[in-house]
Amino acid sequence: MHAYWVNTSDNALIYDNLENSTIDVFNDLETLFNGKEIKKEISPFFTFEELSKFDGIWQLMVYSGYLKISEKLGNDEYSLKIPNYEIQTFFRKGFIDKFLVSENQFNPMMRALLDGNIKEFEERLQNIFLLNTSFHNLKGEKVYHSLFLGMLIWLRDRYEVTSEGERGHGRYDALLTPLNKINPAFIFEFKVSKTIKGLNAKAEEALKQIKEKKYDVGLKEKEISKVYRIGIAFKGKNVKVKYEIA
């Protein structure tokens, strides 16, 4: 089975599938983001009308070249993975443009984060959520986690991006470890609030969890001069960020 790049109209099918994805898809995406493989049923011969019989989003991604087959496991079952170059290209040119309004919105947000301007980062993140109609039905911490991790992929030329790793007394949600030690590290914890009024308390809870469970232990020992602890709370399209510098 040979993967190939499909045209723009076919790529639109991938974006439509992502926009209407279930929690299972986000779970699998997170696995892929972490450099691991997923097992899926892929048909070597299919029509778009038949996609519903298989895992449609993965079927499309294999044939578009965004996913590569690493091993055949059974009749139509394969082990799939994402090449670094292709996933970065996909998320920067495809995912970001489709789901984060435009790079004109996305790039300044990431610059604000890297510059340590967390207030501006919060404002730009909130603006992206408000402007993007794709976020109207976001539910569950895992969905926000996977979405945010997709954003952080953009930084892999400067940071090691890891998710749900063991550190301290538990598992952090996301960690940016700088490849150059003169740059700061960022550790994130995410929470979902049941109400808009509860956003502030949930963001504080997330920040407190980072400190109490010592998720940033060992970063200073790596001679990283500055560590940002960042708690983020979500409710629909609403965002609240709390932070401190360790």
**Got the DSSP string for 27-38?**
HHHHHHHTT--E
> What is the reported pLDDT for 86?
63
Q: What is the mean pLDDT of residues 126-145?
A: 69
> What is the reported pLDDT for 51?
55
**Residue (of 99, 102, 124, 91) closest to 16 by Cα position:** 99
Of the pLDDT bands very low, low, confident and very high (cuts 50, 70, 90), residue 62 is confident
pTM surpassing 0.75?
Answer: no
**Which amino acid type is present at position 37?**
E
> What is the reported pLDDT for 61?
81
DSSP state of 189: E
Does position 156 have pLDDT exceeding 90, yes or no?
A: no
d(CA 107, CA 82): 23
Of the pLDDT bands very low, low, confident and very high (cuts 50, 70, 90), residue 199 is very high
- Check: CB of residue 99 under 8 Å from CB of residue 113: no
d(CA 80, CA 18): 17
Q: What is the mean pLDDT of residues 221-236?
A: 92
> What is the reported pLDDT for 162?
86
Where in the sequence of the chain do the CATH 3.40.1350 domains occur? Answer: 96-245
More confident residue, 237 or 206: 206
CATH number given to 96-245: 3.40.1350
**Residue (of 195, 191, 154, 160) closest to 175 by Cα position:** 160
Range among 52-56, 132-136, 192-196, 241-245 rated most confident: 241-245
Does position 198 have pLDDT exceeding 80, yes or no?
A: yes
Task: Kindly state the helix (H) or strand (E) to which residue 26 belongs, with its residue range.
Answer: helix 23-33
Q: What percent of the chain lies above the pLDDT cut of 90?
A: 35
Does position 5 have pLDDT exceeding 90, yes or no?
A: no
